[in-house]
Amino acid sequence: MVEVRLFAYFRDNRGKIVYLDPNQYSNVQMILDHLGINLSDVQILLVNGRHTHAQHELKENDIVALFPPVAGG
């Protein structure tokens, strides 16, 4: 399974971690579509700790992390 770690308000109604089958959701964009998160709302997109893009192909045991932009002070 792919482990999808959600942060900030992405957790609302979705939980902190979602596990998805990479055979069914083969890239990050498919995961975003499944979770109902717009790519434009994602500031930091990491797969296994590296910055990447929505077309990144996923494989078993990958860890995806998604953060919105936070800039307030």
Residue 34 host element (H or E): helix 28-35
Q: Which residues bind another protein (CB under 8 A)?
A: 7-9, 11, 16, 41, 43-44, 46, 48-51, 65, 67-73
The whole-angstrom separation of Cα 56 and Cα 16 is: 21
SS3 at position 9: helix
55 or 70, CB closer to another protein?
Answer: 70
30 or 52, CB closer to another protein?
Answer: 52
7 or 27, CB closer to another protein?
Answer: 7
